Structure 1
Amino acid sequence: MRKLLNKMWNDERGNVLVVMGATLPLFVGAAGLATDTIQWTLWKRQLQRAADSAAIAGVYERVQYKNDLDKVKAAVTKDLALNHHTGIALSSGFPQTSLVADSTDGTQTLRVKVALQVARPLSFSGMFMSAAPAIYAESTAASVPGTDDYCVISLEDTSNTGITGSGNAGVEMDCGMITNSSAANSAIAKGNVTMKASVIASVGGIEKSDNWVVEKYDPYVSKMTDPYASLSPDPSVMDCTSTKVVVRGGPNETISTAPTITADYDFDASYAANGNKSINCFSGIDVASNTTVNLPAGVYYIDGGNVNIQGTLTGTDVTIVLTNRNTSSTATIGTFDMNAQAKMTLSAPTTGTWAGMAIYQDRRAVNQPKQNPNKINGGSTGIIEGVLYFPNQGLAYNGDGTSDFVCTRIVSRRVTFSGNNTTGNTTKIKKDCASKGIPSFEGGRLVRLVA
């Protein structure tokens, strides 16, 4: 181009000047349009980026507050204050924020759509336009299914910490942990604890620490759905009022309430005394030190009482259900307490309504935010294969030190791992447990831009 211009400049023929004069507006116009195109593209890209960021922020807010449009709009406005970089004020009536219905297949939920518009004259084109051109951008974000596999799920959905590792506990799993806590430190590992997992995920924040040995930190994910939200005990199947029970070492007893399982409870005798009908409802399980209770296969409904284990408890194809046949929302629900010197070898059934469930606590149990009413302090020979489900109370878990990884799952409001792994009591949990009736708990729904 420079050579051409020099040639024209040095050409002494007058017609060249005429040609130059005629074509100069084309050169100027082309340069002006090129400049305007670059500027318009930059503004459009910046506006689209702002819309994308605002839509994602809106979904995160919707995760917390569902269909509260005012809160979602406030989150969008706050995000735009940080990420709208065009330098141009939004047009009147923008941003436009709307809550979009979930997709029909359920893969996209809590969708938020954000539309933005700005208008500003372009340097060259503006001389020929009566009004500044509008630049429009819109974006839709949604919560989509995650792919991580979790062995520990904390359902705590407040600002209280959901997962805690303390003392000298040792936790090792080839799957992940997730909490619905919105706290800045929703999952804490402190002391000399070692928490090894594929991922630690949270609705809130997670402070990195040498105590966490994870492949990735995944804060600010969507809430994890309770995988057993639809599972509830049926009071009509609970036989809690058998009139005759034979207790080993004593005569027949006539009772009006469910018996308590102790080391002296004779399941065979009670079965015969009941006309070959199993009693499946008890007022509690109380296993004293130096005693053993072997539970036959079945579902054991605990009617308003507690399970207290200081000795040894065993059972194959067994589910223990802490519930209450009284259907009142305030009915008393018992707790599970396994003493530090106790031993428990328990495996859940692999089929049926209670497949994969080892210990179930009714969700009517009263939440105690500052306490862990349920405790499992297993000895070195204790193994639990199945789900430990405490959806509205905390669980303190002191591991079952084993040389092999086991199919234990924890779904609890809060989970605290504690203890002393210097004695080899490292909790080892594996993820592939379909053969035990335990499904994969995939989730940690992610927030992504969608079409």
Structure 2
Amino acid sequence: MKRGLVRLMGSTQGNVTPIIAILLPAIVGGFAVASETSTWFLAQRSMQHAADSAALAAATNNTGPSTSPPPTYSEEARGVASRYGYTTGTNNVSVVATYPTCPAPWTGNCYQVTITRDIPIRLARLVGYNGDVAMGAGRAKTVISTAIARAGSKGTYCLTTFNPAADALQFKGAPSLDLTGCDIASAGGASCNGNSGDTVGHAYVTMAGKSNDNCGSNEIVGAPPADIYAPLASNIVNPCGVRGSHTLTGPLSANYSRCGDVTLTGNVTVTSDVVMTISQGQLNLNNFTLSTTGTGHLTIIFTGSPGDGQSHVFTGNGTMDFAAPTTGVWAGVAIYQDPALTAHSGLDVSDAGNAPIYKVTGLLYMPKANIIIKGAIDHKTGGDNCMAIVAWTIDIRGTGGIFSAPTSQCDRANLTLQGPPGSGAGPSLIQ
């Protein structure tokens, strides 16, 4: 018995049980804190992404609290937050968008989005943490994410030329030039002589020593206009293999790509968002009409190999009556000549407005082309009054006219315009 008692007193078997009993509350509490705090952290990070995107969307939409028609900035922000899974009134979530004064050093008003979510507390209550608010018979932790964005300054150039020569931008007696809400920019000189009753905004002649002759009320000297559209060329898919001749007629509802000349053999109506890519060839309207209807939108891309010797323009009598898409990579872009094409080699347009007739909403991007406008060009029939032209030179003469309506609607057409230095920057997060 004595030996047994000695052995019992010296044994360590079973000692772990009281130790675990003593440490169990701390172990469970640590697990609870680690588990639930990580949940709160992940939720906060997800909510912050949603708030950032919602604030930027509100600033991009750029409709203050009194702006009509909808959607307002608040609806825009809530719609974006919902796409991230945060909808007011669902899963204890609240999304609030406001239009407060921007924090210093910024001035004006900003767009603030706050997302709040109450997350139920479970294990953390074992260590005495009761969260922020009651939730039924339990408690909840309130997680909050806030983002503040400011709207970007907008570009204003409806006409832009890149030629540094003195005659880069000319209006010669154009009787109906209306650029209300738009400005013109020339890397060279600008001359607006002989016009009658024209409405022109500011003219920015950006190269030293070049003249601004009757083309608006303001002149600045600095760097040539930036080309904000050239990077879009990276989205061109060149269809060329063996060059051929192609015909097109009837409705068009899918993207269309051809290598070589394309000739219309009947009217073509575009019924959805379509990108038409023509490589090493021209588009001959052949006295027919190319138009969009309903939800249809169209971007026409001319591309090819530099110096390929082909024509990369429209030919033939006929009518273009279409609007550019308002979403996607080519938003706002109606006609796009690949900037990699050799300057003025099959790129120039000499009779715009007459052959063919231009009724186009969106951007005409022809950065190495000389464009002569002899007839009236205008926006799509019934479409937004928005047309911007980027070219090497622009010459509007005789009966040529542009913009019959008094106000540019390029914001609504979702075309980002170029502008003076410091403009055209998009919305940005500041907090």
Q: Does 1:155 align with 2:162?
A: yes
Which residue, out of 297, 300, 303, partners 1:317? 297
After superposition, the Cα gap between the structure-2 partners of 1:391 and 1:294, relative to the gap in structure 1 and judged at 3 Å, is same
After superposition, the Cα gap between the structure-2 partners of 1:332 and 1:430, relative to the gap in structure 1 and judged at 3 Å, is farther
Which residue, out of 336, 347, 370, partners 2:313? 336
Other-structure match for 2:119 = none
After superposition, the Cα gap between the structure-2 partners of 1:375 and 1:299, relative to the gap in structure 1 and judged at 3 Å, is farther
How far the C-alpha of 1:390 sits from its partner, in A, is 0.5
User: What residue identity is the alignment partner of 2:184?
Assistant: M
Other-structure match for 1:350 = 326
After superposition, the Cα gap between the structure-2 partners of 1:279 and 1:438, relative to the gap in structure 1 and judged at 3 Å, is closer
CA distance in 1, matches of 2:393, 2:405: 19
SS in 2 for 1:441: coil
User: What residue identity is the alignment partner of 1:319?
Assistant: T
Q: Deviations over 1:39-80 (max 9, x none)?
A: xxxxxxxxxxxxxxxxxxxxxxxxxxxxxxxxxxxxxxxxxx
Other-structure match for 1:88 = none
| Contact 2:212 2:219 (8 Å CA) reproduced | no
SS in 2 for 1:442: coil
Other-structure match for 1:229 = 230
CA distance in 2, matches of 1:303, 1:193: 41
Structure 1 stretch 388-397 or stretch 400-409: which is displaced more?
400-409
SS in 1 for 2:331: coil
| Contact 2:174 2:396 (8 Å CA) reproduced | no
SS in 1 for 2:419: strand
Structure 2 regions of 5+ residues with no counterpart?
1-151, 424-431
CA distance in 2, matches of 1:331, 1:308: 18
How far the C-alpha of 1:350 sits from its partner, in A, is 1.2
| Contact 1:169 1:426 (8 Å CA) reproduced | no
What is the aligned residue count?
261
Other-structure match for 1:365 = 341
Other-structure match for 1:413 = 392
Q: Deviations over 1:213-257 (max 9, x none)?
A: x3x13142432101112111556x44456xxxxxxxxxxxxxx54
Q: Deviations over 1:232-286 (max 9, x none)?
A: 1556x44456xxxxxxxxxxxxxx54552444x6758xx8xxxxxx642342333
- Cα RMSD of the aligned pairs, angstroms, is 3.7
SS in 2 for 1:230: helix
Other-structure match for 2:278 = 302
After superposition, the Cα gap between the structure-2 partners of 1:240 and 1:344, relative to the gap in structure 1 and judged at 3 Å, is same
SS in 2 for 1:232: helix
Superposed, which structure 2 residues align to 1:183-262 within 5 Å? Answer: 186-192=189-195, 195-204=198-207, 205-209=210-214, 212=215, 214=216, 216-234=217-235, 237-240=237-240, 257=243, 259-262=245-248
CA distance in 1, matches of 2:310, 2:407: 30
How far the C-alpha of 1:394 sits from its partner, in A, is 1.4
CA distance in 2, matches of 1:193, 1:287: 38
Superposed, which structure 2 residues align to 1:20-35 within 5 Å? Answer: none
User: What residue identity is the alignment partner of 1:331?
Assistant: D
SS in 1 for 2:330: coil
CA distance in 2, matches of 1:434, 1:147: 9
Which residue, out of 261, 272, 291, partners 1:284? 261
The percentage of counterpart residues that share the same residue type is 18
How far the C-alpha of 1:364 sits from its partner, in A, is 2.9
After superposition, the Cα gap between the structure-2 partners of 1:426 and 1:359, relative to the gap in structure 1 and judged at 3 Å, is closer
Q: Deviations over 1:347-405 (max 9, x none)?
A: 11111111111000011333349x94354215998521110001111122333257987
CA distance in 2, matches of 1:425, 1:331: 32
| Contact 1:172 1:197 (8 Å CA) reproduced | yes
Other-structure match for 1:377 = 353
| Contact 2:193 2:213 (8 Å CA) reproduced | no
Which residue, out of 414, 419, 425, partners 1:437? 414
| Contact 1:331 1:364 (8 Å CA) reproduced | no
How far the C-alpha of 1:299 sits from its partner, in A, is 0.9
The alignment's TM-score, normalised by the length of structure 1, stands at: 0.49
| Contact 2:352 2:358 (8 Å CA) reproduced | no
| Contact 2:178 2:199 (8 Å CA) reproduced | yes
After superposition, the Cα gap between the structure-2 partners of 1:286 and 1:419, relative to the gap in structure 1 and judged at 3 Å, is farther
Other-structure match for 1:396 = 372
CA distance in 2, matches of 1:415, 1:335: 17
Structure 1 regions of 5+ residues with no counterpart?
1-144, 242-255, 272-277, 447-451
| Contact 1:383 1:406 (8 Å CA) reproduced | no
SS in 2 for 1:188: strand
CA distance in 1, matches of 2:275, 2:186: 29
After superposition, the Cα gap between the structure-2 partners of 1:445 and 1:233, relative to the gap in structure 1 and judged at 3 Å, is closer
After superposition, the Cα gap between the structure-2 partners of 1:389 and 1:338, relative to the gap in structure 1 and judged at 3 Å, is same
After superposition, the Cα gap between the structure-2 partners of 1:380 and 1:192, relative to the gap in structure 1 and judged at 3 Å, is farther
CA distance in 2, matches of 1:342, 1:443: 36
| Contact 1:293 1:314 (8 Å CA) reproduced | yes
Q: Deviations over 1:82-103 (max 9, x none)?
A: xxxxxxxxxxxxxxxxxxxxxx
| Contact 2:226 2:418 (8 Å CA) reproduced | no
How far the C-alpha of 1:428 sits from its partner, in A, is 4.5
User: What residue identity is the alignment partner of 2:324?
Assistant: A
CA distance in 2, matches of 1:359, 1:148: 19
CA distance in 1, matches of 2:174, 2:326: 34
